[in-house]
Amino acid sequence: MRPGGALHDRDPRVGAALDHAALYEASYQRERDLERQDQRRRDFMSELSHEIRTPLMSIQAFADLLRMDGTSLDAPADDLVSSLSFGVDRLNRLVSDLIDLGRSGGQEFEVHIGEVDVVEALRAAESLMRPAFLLRGQTVTSDTSATSVRAIADPHWLDQVILTVLSNANRHAPPASEIALRVLRTEDGCVRVEIRDHGTGIAREDRDRIFEPYYRARSADAESMPGAGIGLAVARRLIEAQGGRVWVEDCEDGAGARFCIDVRAVAEQA
Ligand SMILES: Nc1ncnc2c1ncn2[C@@H]1O[C@H](COP(=O)(O)OP(=O)(O)OP(=O)(O)O)[C@@H](O)[C@H]1O
Ligand SMILES: [Mg+2]
């Protein structure tokens, strides 16, 4: 039944006004419903994150305790505890990624832009990943002669993007392979981090899709390597929220993937 009944039928202007009012009421209700759903989703995400992180923190604490008393562990046991710590760290990061992905749109990332030394950021990320590279027998080389290259970025989110790409090189490139890192200034005023590995590489048709949430390329090693398929989707949102870019390109000398992360350079003093 139309709102306003007889009144509605008698005067077309009253009818139109009542129709508008009904439409407005319906859209207002829809908006309220969406807000309520959104709030429920946020509450769920924060409860989930708490529930997962609490046991992880105690596992991490046990691993730290075992390692603090370094003398009681022989070398194989020490390796096992290292990989346990690394696994916990990865799970923690996965939980953060899921939460970031659950947020609606880039505006919910708090972005704090400042000056960042990109060489230093890459070095720090590489040293955090060192146990993981060691475990897979991978060698990491760095072709960055500059001691410091400054950019305008969010230091925290930039670290996370670099770690995501490094962790993919570690997990998706074969054991005992080489991973090459480079920081350079581009002609169009950016600072670029390049992370190049010697794995299967990314097929041309997958080069954009791997940045979509939950997409995993169908290469043999992606199937054997567990993962959620969200690391790169989150990385792209994080880097774009600070005016940068992340993508993967061809390697001219054979197999492997070359991931590039661009952020705005600090203008060089004349
Ligand atoms: N260096 C790489 N070499 C080969 N394939 C890669 C590389 N990096 C990413 N990929 C492909 O891109 C897909 C998406 O990567 P993404 O980091 O988003 O997810 P993931 O590594 O599978 O899981 P997770 O979210 O746990 O990191 C991977 O599943 C893999 O198929
Ligand atoms: Mg990944």
One domain for residues 83 and 119: no
CATH number at residue 195: 3.30.565.10
How far, in Å, from the CA of 59 to the mean position of ligand 1? Answer: 26
Specify the pLDDT at position 254.
65
Query: Which 3 state secondary structure label does DSSP give 115?
Result: strand
Specify the pLDDT at position 105.
47
CA torsion, ordered 143, 149, 151, 153, to nearest 10 deg: 60
One domain for residues 144 and 236: yes
Classify residue 126: in a domain, yes or no.
yes
One domain for residues 83 and 137: no
Specify the pLDDT at position 102.
65
One domain for residues 118 and 95: no
- Give nearest CA residue, ligand 1 atom 13: 216
How far, in Å, from the CA of 206 to the mean position of ligand 2? Answer: 14
200 phi, psi to nearest 5 deg: -70, -20
**Cα separation of 121 and 111, whole Å?**
17
Helices (H), the chain: 5-10, 12-68, 75-102, 118-135, 155-172, 220-224, 231-240
* The dihedral sign for the CA sequence 129, 130, 136, 140: positive
Specify the pLDDT at position 31.
83
- Number of domains comprising the chain: 2
Candidate of 99, 138, 172 to mutate for ligand 1, largest count of ligand atoms within 8 Å of Cβ: 172
Classify residue 224: in a domain, yes or no.
yes
CATH number at residue 83: 1.10.287
One domain for residues 210 and 118: yes
Domain limit, last residue, from 79, 104, 129: 104
The DSSP 8-state label assigned to residue 251 in this structure reads -
One domain for residues 116 and 96: no
One domain for residues 62 and 171: no
Classify residue 4: in a domain, yes or no.
no
Nearest ligand for residue 230 CA? 1
Query: Which 3 state secondary structure label does DSSP give 262?
Result: strand
One domain for residues 123 and 98: no
Domain limit, last residue, from 104, 132, 156: 104
Atom of ligand 1 nearest to the CA of 168: 8
Classify residue 163: in a domain, yes or no.
yes
One domain for residues 119 and 100: no
248 phi, psi to nearest 5 deg: -125, 145
- 194 alpha-carbon distance from chain centroid: 16
Domain limit, last residue, from 77, 104, 131: 104
Residue range of the domain that includes 176: 112-265
What would the two tokens of residue 151 be? 């950019």
Query: Measured from the CB, is residue 200 less than 6 Å from ligand 1?
Result: yes
Specify the pLDDT at position 121.
94
One domain for residues 184 and 149: yes
Classify residue 209: in a domain, yes or no.
yes
**Cα separation of 230 and 215, whole Å?**
7
Specify the pLDDT at position 36.
83
> How confident is the prediction along the chain (270 residues), in pLDDT tens digits per residue?
555 566 666 677 888 888 888 888 888 888 888 888 877 777 777 777 777 878 888 888 888 888 777 667 787 788 788 878 877 887 887 787 777 666 544 446 678 999 999 999 999 888 888 888 988 999 999 987 778 899 999 998 899 899 999 999 998 999 999 999 999 999 999 999 999 999 989 988 999 999 998 888 876 555 677 777 888 988 998 899 999 999 999 776 668 999 999 999 998 765
One domain for residues 98 and 122: no
Helices (H), 75-117: 75-102
82, 136 Cβ separation under 8 angstroms: no
Query: Measured from the CB, is residue 230 less than 6 Å from ligand 1?
Result: yes
